[in-house]
Amino acid sequence: MAEQLLEEMIQKINQIMNSLDGTIAQINQMSGAITQMSQSFAEQTVAMTENIRLIVEVLKQFRIQSSNSLKELAEDFNNKVKELWDKKSIEAITEEEKKAIDTIKQASKAVADNLYFAQLLNIIQSIREETNRIISTSQS
């Protein structure tokens, strides 16, 4: 009976060992999956960090280029204003504009005078026609 009990204990220990082997295999499989997930996460983190670094670098370059472009534009504008000032082109333009305004004023006055005279002619023509009509009716 002791042998039978010993046999049963050996069988139970073997069953426990088989069960533990299965559990260890599952744990090893889970450990591999966790390692793989950890590796994938690390790779994705590195890739995202590199992408962020590239984006930041592009933004820096854009800011530098924009700043340079604005400086160039401001310098070009200032140079053109200085050139116009040095050549006194601004004063010449103002003189030309004054002459143009005077010419426009004279033309406007001439047009107004012509309109006035045209109205006077119309009134005179109307008076003449009315007078002729009255004379023709009184002679009949």
Each of the 140 residues of the chain gets a pLDDT tens digit; together they read 778 888 989 999 999 898 888 889 999 999 999 999 999 888 988 888 888 888 888 888 877 787 777 778 778 878 887 877 677 666 666 777 888 888 888 888 888 888 888 888 888 888 888 888 888 887 76
**pLDDT the model gives residue 130:** 85
pTM: 0.41
**pLDDT the model gives residue 55:** 84
**pLDDT the model gives residue 135:** 84
**pLDDT the model gives residue 140:** 62
Q: Which tokens hold the place of 96? A: 């030309």
